[in-house]
Amino acid sequence: MSDKKNLGHNSKKDFLKKPVEHIDITSFDSRKIISSMEKKCLLFQERLLMQQISTTKC
């Protein structure tokens, strides 16, 4: 195997160097975060749709 690291891609071994940290989902109100993500997702979907419409000829 090569000694060169593949920059930009982490191996499973790299990910497993640190222990997984779990969070208590009941310890905070995540509704604001989820709402914000939904809005951004909708904006992204709209942008993709508009790009597709603008490249499609009728």
pLDDT for 24 equals 85
pLDDT for 42 equals 79
Residues 1-58 have pLDDT tens digits of: 455 555 567 788 888 888 888 888 788 888 888 788 777 777 888 888 888 888 876 5
pLDDT for 6 equals 57
- Rg of the chain over CA atoms, in angstroms? 20
Q: Three-state secondary structure along 4-15?
A: CCCCCCCCHHHH
CA quadruple 7, 8, 12, 13: dihedral positive or negative? positive
